[in-house]
Amino acid sequence: MAEYQTKIQDYKVEAVDSLKSEFEGVQDYIFTNYRGLTVAQITELRDKLRKENALFKVVKNRFAKIALRDMEQPAVDEHLTGPTAVALAKGESGPVAKILFEIAKDLPLEVKGGIINGNVFDAEQVEAFSKLPTRHELIAMLMGTMRAPVQHVVYVLNAVPTKLVRTLQAVADKKQAG
């Protein structure tokens, strides 16, 4: 008896390869359930995400599982059920998650979970991640903290000549008056 061998359709291989090419260069993936969104709402969401250097792609779950496995990403089978769209963050993923949760307040969009920095996050963890400050905000906070001591030194160094000038002015005013 001959062994049973599954024939893989060429269009399926091409679809997985296409997904892998779209997933290239992406570090973070946020999985959503988009059921109930209209085409106009999805277009609006895509426009907002595009400003943050991210894509919103409707995927076939089986193809996404194969593509992620081939790219050696962690298994996220529990998030790839039902209608699924993936937010692909090419840059920083914090603002992308914020946009998704802001839209989810008003529209029937549900965040299922994600892969962030190589770790699998559930929906609550992604929401907590979205509330963290962005990289640029953290750098601004750090720079403000680093600038404060230097600024105080400048004030102290500036106070000595200012006090001397005020003292000399007071002496000059006293001599003029007397």
Query: What is the count of structural domains for the chain?
Result: 2
Claim to verify: residue 118 and residue 144 sit in the same structural domain: no
Q: Is residue 172 part of a domain?
A: yes
DSSP for residue 59? E
For residues 103-115, average pLDDT: 89
pLDDT value of position 47: 92
| pLDDT averaged over every residue in the chain | 85
Do 92 and 163 lie in one domain? The reply is: no
The pLDDT, as a whole number, for residue 79 is: 85
Q: Which of 2-6, 11-15, 44-48 shows the lowest per-residue confidence on average (mean pLDDT)?
A: 2-6
Range of the domain at 152: 137-178
Does residue 142 sit within a domain?
yes
Please name the residue that has the structure tokens 């903290």: 145
Under 8 Å between Cβ of 130 and 94: yes
**R_g (Cα) of the chain, nearest Å:** 28
Closest CA to 18 of 76, 85, 73, 66: 66
Question: Same domain for 153 and 120?
Answer: no
CB 17 within 8 A of CB 65: no
In a domain, 36, yes or no: yes
With a cut of 80, say whether residue 2 has pLDDT above it: no
Q: Is there a single domain that holds both residue 110 and residue 160?
A: no
The reply to whether 124 and 143 lie within a common domain is no
Lowest-pLDDT choice from 29-43, 141-155, 159-173: 141-155
Domain harbouring 80, CATH code: 3.30.70.1730
pTM of the prediction?
0.72
Residue 109 near residue 49 (C-beta atoms within 8 A): no
Q: Work out the number of other CB atoms within 10 angstroms of the CB of residue 57.
A: 16
112 vs 13, 18, 120, CA distance in Å? Answer: 26, 23, 11
Residues 112 and 96 in one domain: yes
Q: Is residue 1 part of a domain?
A: no
**pLDDT above 60: residue 176:** yes
